[in-house]
Amino acid sequence: MDFTASTAGLASAAADVARLLPTRVVDPVIAGLVLRATGSGVELAGNDRERAVSLSRAATVHDEGAVLVPARPFAETLRGLDEPQVRVVVEGSRLAVRTGRGRFALPLLDLHSHPGVPALPPLAGRITARVLASAVVPVAGAASKEDALPVFTGVHVQGAGSRLELIATDRYRMAYSSLPWSGGELDVLVPASLLAEVVRQPGAGDEVSLHADDDRLALAWRGGSVSTALLAAPFPDDRARKLLEATIDSTVLVEADALAGAVRRAVPYAGPHGAVTLQVDDGEVRVRGSDPQAGESEESIKATVDGNRLTKSFQARYLSDALKAFSGRRVELRIQDGLRSTVLTAQAGDDGVELTYLVVPLRTVS
Amino acid sequence: MDFTASTAGLASAAADVARLLPTRVVDPVIAGLVLRATGSGVELAGNDRERAVSLSRAATVHDEGAVLVPARPFAETLRGLDEPQVRVVVEGSRLAVRTGRGRFALPLLDLHSHPGVPALPPLAGRITARVLASAVVPVAGAASKEDALPVFTGVHVQGAGSRLELIATDRYRMAYSSLPWSGGELDVLVPASLLAEVVRQPGAGDEVSLHADDDRLALAWRGGSVSTALLAAPFPDDRARKLLEATIDSTVLVEADALAGAVRRAVPYAGPHGAVTLQVDDGEVRVRGSDPQAGESEESIKATVDGNRLTKSFQARYLSDALKAFSGRRVELRIQDGLRSTVLTAQAGDDGVELTYLVVPLRTVS
């Protein structure tokens, strides 16, 4: 194998493969990166049996071939190079990365022991990368980061009829998005952190195809694909969807970024529980914090209010996450009675993505 | 007290006071920030008995006065504000930070229990901030970050005759700088981390005055001052200075940034001990790494070589730190026999600052 390629392009692909595969695998073959040069360019790939990644880059191929090398030093070497072009060539038992005055020689691992990249499962449908990302990123952010309860680390993706629906919850907040779908049936629980990473891989305008079977979901686009094992846990759909049916006590329409700014400024006063209070008033929302050491804060944000005047307390970071999902837009807060969730929604954008975010209020002494 | 000031100016001063005082003090009074408004502006100050800080900012003072408030929420509140101007006013038992639609009210702490900012010790001499920083920053970086042996966390500052000398070592490397001095006698051991922070406070062209007595060192400039308790430990001067007298085996003149780049690129191959090898050859230095998993690297850098051809291994991070201190310049490596330190030096700059950096080589099997 022998090829010349753009250092930046090759470096970004190697970094993505190294990042999308977990960092600590005992078996160096499974932690390795497959590099394959063919007439049309080079493919960088990895498969740790949970996840499989394949990314393509343009290259001038002098000699075709395929090798397996340690992923991390290969990625770090490319990242550190100053030269715009790099030569990559097999020399004996080494893969040499060559620059004008330097040679970086990686050991060749046993390519035949590597599982390779599995074929894509059957096609379920297609969607523009930008649209998919705008639905996936806020929903994936509402999933739990703790592996103790796997079902809460996943995004439930369901395609049925003309809509694709995504839902995730960590039990303290829940996010739901719905977008136009012309594909077939789909019902999978996907690791949220991987899904959020993967939707950033293709170009914004690229078309992404979704592929699924009973065991895997794959996303593929021009020049790349990622597949992941599904989470094998029953998502509590009925309970989740029931939460979406709000009995509204008060509706507040407000600029999401203005409210997010006020919440951020109340954080130094959010106290030991990180709590901020929203007081719905005539034509405004007052954002308040109170802490025995730091003191008190109050800031008012203009709002269109419909319904009862009331007061709710929230975890500041959950409220901030929810508002961030609506950045640049007006958001509607549908506030329910007692300890029932507050529902955040906005008008669907031009891309047809509808987003609903639920935040559970804090129990307060009032 | 009542004044209006630039939010950015006040926020930077409050952040600096909060940062220069340690984060965890049990006594809220000692952790507090003194805010004093007089005809000429506002002073922000703190004193945790180890360190004292005072910074001045312009303000339109409507009503003079002084208060003590919690430093951290005050700094965080100012940092989060969008408005260019902010009003700060005492209202009952609170200091209110007021914006168009917000009010942030900090409790007033007992100003009379606060030690205040002590008077500056006697003047020892003056120096331009930029010149002082170029001598202090690399030397302070060679000090230890571990408090177990306090003497190695300090910079020994000595003024005598026409030179001010700074020296620090963590026992694996040592940095020494010398700069023109027209002040008096000075002999103090100063916490390195604080010294490195403080020299960034004044403007580059500002004149800094150094003040010292047996207990404290203070730096003062237009609009601010910081003082610190000295480290009470005898610095091993004799041994340190003996190390500066090198018996040179080989001299290598090289662009510091080119060599630093090659060392950085060898890091993925630096192995479990983080070691890189310099091989001095005809008209070049070869930078090499070797690791059982990652493979081998070799890169050659043009150099002017005088003396024996030889090979030395170093901790990559120590060598990188040393080369960074000479960034943008040609550096001379004076390599000594065996396990004696390699000495890095460069021509003194226009500012008259001379810098010498010693790195102890690694014991290697060769």
Considering only CB atoms, A73 lies closest to which of B80, B261, B295, namely B295
Task: Region of B41 please: left (phi>0), alpha (psi -120 to 50) or beta.
Answer: left
- Domain A123-235 and domain A246-359 have a common topology: yes
Query: Starting from the edge strand earliest in sequence, which strands make up the sheet with A248-255, in order?
Result: A186-191, A154-160, A163-169, A173-180, A354-359, A342-345, A330-336, A248-255, A304-307
Supply the CATH classification number for the domain A246-359: 3.10.150.10
Question: Does residue A133 sit in helix, strand or coil?
Answer: helix
CA distance B222 to chain A (A): 31
Question: Does residue B282 sit in helix, strand or coil?
Answer: coil
- pLDDT by 10s per residue, chain A, length 366: 999 999 999 999 999 999 988 656 678 899 899 999 999 899 999 999 899 999 999 999 999 999 999 999 999 999 999 999 999 999 999 999 999 999 999 999 999 999 999 999 999 999 999 999 999 999 999 999 988 888 999 999 999 889 999 999 999 999 999 999 999 999 999 999 999 999 999 988 999 999 999 999 999 999 999 999 999 888 988 888 888 887 888 999 999 999 999 999 999 999 999 999 999 999 999 999 999 999 999 999 999 999 999 999 999 999 999 999 999 999 999 999 888 999 999 988 888 999 999 999 998 754
| Prediction pTM value | 0.90
pLDDT, position A167: 97
Question: CB neighbours (10 Å) of residue B42?
Answer: 24
Chain A residues with beta carbon closer than 8 angstroms to that of B99: 299
Report how far residue A295's alpha carbon sits from residue B342's, in angstroms, rounded to the nearest whole number.
56
Dmax over CA atoms of chain A, in Å, equals: 78
Considering only CB atoms, B76 lies closest to which of A80, A103, A268, namely A268
Report how far residue B69's alpha carbon sits from residue B89's, in angstroms, rounded to the nearest whole number.
12
Considering only CB atoms, A261 lies closest to which of B82, B105, B291, namely B82
pLDDT, position A267: 97
Residues A295, B107: C-beta atoms closer than 8 Å: yes
Q: Quote ipTM for the complex.
A: 0.88
Query: Starting from the edge strand earliest in sequence, which strands make up the sheet with A51-57, in order?
Result: A65-70, A32-38, A41-47, A51-57, A224-229, A216-221, A207-212, A123-128
Chain B residues with beta carbon closer than 8 angstroms to that of A265: 77, 80-81, 102, 104
CA distance A362 to chain B (A): 22
The one-character DSSP state at A335 is: E
Query: Which tens digit of pLDDT belongs to each residue from B303-354?
Result: 999 999 999 999 999 999 999 999 999 999 999 988 899 999 998 888 899 9
Size of interface A-B (CB pairs under 8 A): 106
Window 69-88 of B, Cβ < 8 Å to A:
70, 72-73, 76-77, 80-82
Report how far residue A153's alpha carbon sits from residue A169's, in angstroms, rounded to the nearest whole number.
8
Contact B224, B201 (CB under 8 A): yes
User: In sequence order, which residues have a C-beta less than 8 Å from that of residue B308 and are 6 or more positions away?
Assistant: B249, B250, B280
Chain A residues with beta carbon closer than 8 angstroms to that of B67: none
- Tokens, residue B215: 């207990």
B279 touches chain A (CB under 8 A): no
pLDDT, position B234: 87
Residue ranges per structural domain of chain A: 2-113, 123-235, 246-359
User: In sequence order, which residues have a C-beta less than 8 Å from that of residue A265 and are 6 or more positions away?
Assistant: A287, A297, A299, B77, B80, B81, B102, B104
Mutate to test the interface with A, among B67, B106, B288 (most CBs of A within 10 A): B106
CATH class of B123-235: alpha beta
Contact A143, A155 (CB under 8 A): yes
- Tokens, residue A14: 């190697």
> Does the pLDDT value for residue B365 go beyond 80?
no
- Tokens, residue B220: 């003062």
Residues A295, B94: C-beta atoms closer than 8 Å: yes
* Alpha carbon separation from B311 to A306, B174, B279, B285, B291 (Å, rounded): 79, 21, 4, 9, 18
Q: At what angle do helices A7-20 and A71-80 cross, to 10 degrees?
A: 150
Considering only CB atoms, A73 lies closest to which of B102, B103, B269, namely B269
B64 touches chain A (CB under 8 A): no
> Which helix (DSSP H) or strand (DSSP E) does residue A9 occupy?
helix A7-20
- Tokens, residue A291: 């802490």
User: In sequence order, which residues have a C-beta less than 8 Å from that of residue A248 and are 6 or more positions away?
Assistant: A307, A334, A335, A336, A343
Supply the CATH classification number for the domain B2-113: 3.10.150.10
B257 touches chain A (CB under 8 A): no
B274 touches chain A (CB under 8 A): no
